[in-house]
Amino acid sequence: MRGTVFCLALVCVLVGAAQPATSTVHAENSCSRLDLAYDLAQGGDAEAQCWLARQYEDGLCGLCKDDPLAVVWFKKAAQAGRAEAQFVLGMRYFFGLGVPQDLEQAVYWLHKAAQQNHAEAQYRLAGCLEDGLGTSADKAAGVFWYTRSAELGYPQAQNMLGILCIKGMDVPRDAQAAALWFQKAAVQGYATAQFNLGCSYEKGEGIDKDREKALYWYGKAARQGDADAQARLEAF
């Protein structure tokens, strides 16, 4: 019920914000609805807490930007089990944004979010496990989380799995699987994967050799500013 009430309140806030600023009634209503969201957050509603954190983080809904207060609400939402907040908190600890840099805490919160199928958290956690950042290096666990993230459709994870497969790093070498993962990420517009798929077509690795398709994917990546793809096009 809390989540339903909050979602309705959020819609009302956004609708109110779109009205002319000259309307005192609309301004008062927006304030009261923001107060409702605040009351829900104070009452332990994790969705409201995370939303409120975003408002303070970005200075939205008439609130002044207040990063320390944003962190407070992200922490509350993360502790209440909100995956988005757990991911944000993990990344803040990883980079030391608004909190002291703490890679162990970063891994802790990324793992919490990853367990709730947050695809980017799974990808970031996999990188930490692969490189031993904030935790003991565990290549097999890294591959596990890259795979989970890739299966959820996260393009960076799909591209990374393709790289691991084509090079035979931490997994058996499988050029066909690599091309498949590159393609999944490429069609989502991920430039690095588009370049890698172009390479697969050019070399005929795991896929039928096709110069035209190689040029097509190099072109897609190049138009997004991928320097390797631009150089490859010049060499054709």
| Mean pLDDT score of the chain | 89
Nearest to 196 by CA among 144, 139, 206: 206
Report the predicted TM-score, pTM, of the whole model to 2 decimal places: 0.85
The predicted structure's pLDDT at residue 30: 54
Q: Which residue stretches of 1-102 are H helix? A: 2-17, 24-42, 46-58, 67-79, 83-95
Average pLDDT over residues 26-45: 77
Is position 27 within any domain?
yes
Angle at 124 between CA 100 and CA 117, to 5 degrees: 115
**Domain-embedded: residue 9:** yes
Q: Count of domains in the chain? A: 1
Closest CA to 236 of 209, 205, 206, 202: 202
pLDDT bucket at 18, cuts 50 / 70 / 90 = very low
> What residues contact 76, with CB distance under 8 A and at least 6 apart?
41, 46, 49, 85
- Contact at 8 Å (CB) between 193 and 199? no
Task: Look at residues 80, 222, 8, 158 and name the one whose alpha carbon lies nearest to residue 232.
Answer: 222
d(CA 223, CA 213): 15
> Could you give the percent of the chain with pLDDT greater than 90?
83
Indicate whether 43 belongs to any domain: yes
Decide if 148 is inside a domain.
no
Indicate whether 73 belongs to any domain.
Answer: yes
Range of the domain at 39: 1-80
Q: What is the pLDDT of residue 27?
A: 41
Which residues have CB under 8 Å from 52's CB, separation 6+? 37, 38, 41, 73
CA 79 to chain centre: 20
Judge whether residue 228 has pLDDT over 60: yes
